[in-house]
Amino acid sequence: MLELSERVKAVGFSEIVKIRNQIMELRAKGAKIFQFEGGEPFLTTPEYVKEACWKAIQNNYTRYAPSSGIPDLIDSILKKVNESNHIPAAKENIIVVNGGAQGLFGSFQSSINPGDDVIVLSPYWTPIRDIIQLCQGNIVLANIWSMFAEGVKPVLQQVLTPKTKLIYVNSPHNPAGFMYERSHLQEIADFAKENNLIIISDEAYEHITYDTEHVSIASFPGMLERTITVFTFSKSYAMTGWRIGYTIAPEPYITGLRKITLTSSNGVNTPTQWAALAAMTTQSDLLEKNVLEYKKRRDLLINGLCSLGLDCEMSKGAFYAFPNIKKFDTDSWRFSKKILDEAHVATVPGLVFGPDGESHLRFSFSTSLETIEQGLESLKKIL
């Protein structure tokens, strides 16, 4: 019998596909669906970014680029991470990759051996589980609410084993909209140093924050040496389909990332790199304006959910609300199906984000104000 490798067999496909299929079935019957299950900006890519791509194509910048990124883009990333993220990186620490996804894939591949334990602050962005499984690492969950309530260190200490190699940290957070405060990150950093651990810091939503400071853990003294930071253009510049991001890593992990990138995609397509350069260097108030738009949507959705009895903390970053559904049901798949069938409101069951996500639903508020208003009205009729 022809078989998949054991490594790949262990990995599943996105469970969000199941929800998309249910949406399609309902649509086929003529239903109007209020979609909150997505995970991308509702905005379109800025015109100046598209134009830079066109220009690159017209200039025949269409040959192989250096597989770690074109020099102009590396220079502008260096300036940005030094000045905005306060990460004391050098050019040698930077690689351009096919989105956060490839950055994370390369980071875990470069740092995890089969059988290593990886602490994942949980609930978590689901692909992380699959990326770690592909490395044959063991996922060890540390509950984020417990960390906020009991302190970071005691919770990390409980899950530490002699095989622990790494902690995955994601702030701003998908699915719950959390952001770690500087003091939380300092505790994580101290813990990593005390126990000789690596940090993978996923900062995909760094520019989508609401009156809360985004802090890069690699900016703390002595932390660049043990932190791999993953950034992407996807969310900040509404460029999800372009597949471009960058990762900052110390040796030996940057060499690992270079090898993984070289042997998988051999880098990001050249015109897209010129487009990304325009995204970073064009003077614009786009990032600030976008945050104002997201904030309007966050306030409308979360206040609306709370008034319907779906208890929900105000998200500090990213574009997700993660209400607790316990008052109605504890089974997030069942409740998500109920509101999809009865109110035509599509969400993602919290269990998709690991066992700590159960009894919650993820709503994305990256949609029109009208969809939020109508979705809430529709929910009101059934709750």
Ligand X SMILES: Cc1ncc(COP(=O)(O)O)c(C=O)c1O
Please identify, using beta-carbon distances, which residue of 117 and 202 lies nearer to ligand X. 202
Please identify, using beta-carbon distances, which residue of 66 and 127 lies nearer to ligand X. 127
Please identify, using beta-carbon distances, which residue of 39 and 69 lies nearer to ligand X. 39
- Residue 129: CB minimum distance to ligand X, A: 12
- Residue 98: CB minimum distance to ligand X, A: 8
Please identify, using beta-carbon distances, which residue of 247 and 332 lies nearer to ligand X. 247
Query: With b meaning 16 or more CB within 10 Å and e meaning fewer, what string describes 271-310?
Result: bbbbbbbbbbbeeeebeeebbeebbebbeebbebbeebeb
Query: In Å, what is the CA distance from 357 to each residue of 323, 332, 362?
Result: 10, 9, 9
Concatenated DSSP letters of 230-291: EEESTTTTT-GGG--EEEE--TTHHHHHHHHHHHHTSS--HHHHHHHHHHHHS---HHHHHH
Query: In Å, what is the CA distance from 184 to each residue of 23, 141, 149?
Result: 39, 17, 12
Decide: 199 and 184 in contact? Cβ < 8 Å.
no
- Residue 71: CB minimum distance to ligand X, A: 22
Closest-CA residue to 193 (of 140, 146, 153, 231) = 153
Q: What are the residues binding ligand X (CB under 6 A)?
A: 39, 99-101, 125, 170, 174, 202, 204, 232, 234, 240, 245
Q: The dihedral of CA 20, 22, 28, 33: what is its sign? A: negative
Burial class (CB in 10 A: 0-12, 13-18, 19+), 195: middle
- Residue 157: CB minimum distance to ligand X, A: 25
Torsion-angle region of 123 (φ positive above 0: left; ψ -120 to 50: alpha; else: beta):
beta
Give the position of tokens 């209020």.
Answer: 34
- Residue 320: CB minimum distance to ligand X, A: 9
- Residue 56: CB minimum distance to ligand X, A: 20
- Residue 200: CB minimum distance to ligand X, A: 10
Q: How many angstroms separate the CA atoms of 40 and 21, rounded?
A: 18
Please identify, using beta-carbon distances, which residue of 100 and 350 lies nearer to ligand X. 100
Element housing 7 (H / E): helix 6-9
- Residue 275: CB minimum distance to ligand X, A: 14
Please identify, using beta-carbon distances, which residue of 38 and 66 lies nearer to ligand X. 38
Please identify, using beta-carbon distances, which residue of 202 and 358 lies nearer to ligand X. 202
- Residue 170: CB minimum distance to ligand X, A: 5
Give the relative orientation of helices 47-58 and 270-281 as an angle to the nearest 10 degrees.
140
Please identify, using beta-carbon distances, which residue of 152 and 238 lies nearer to ligand X. 238
Q: In what order do the strands lie in the sheet with 138-143?
A: 94-97, 245-248, 227-232, 198-202, 164-170, 117-122, 138-143
Please identify, using beta-carbon distances, which residue of 170 and 378 lies nearer to ligand X. 170
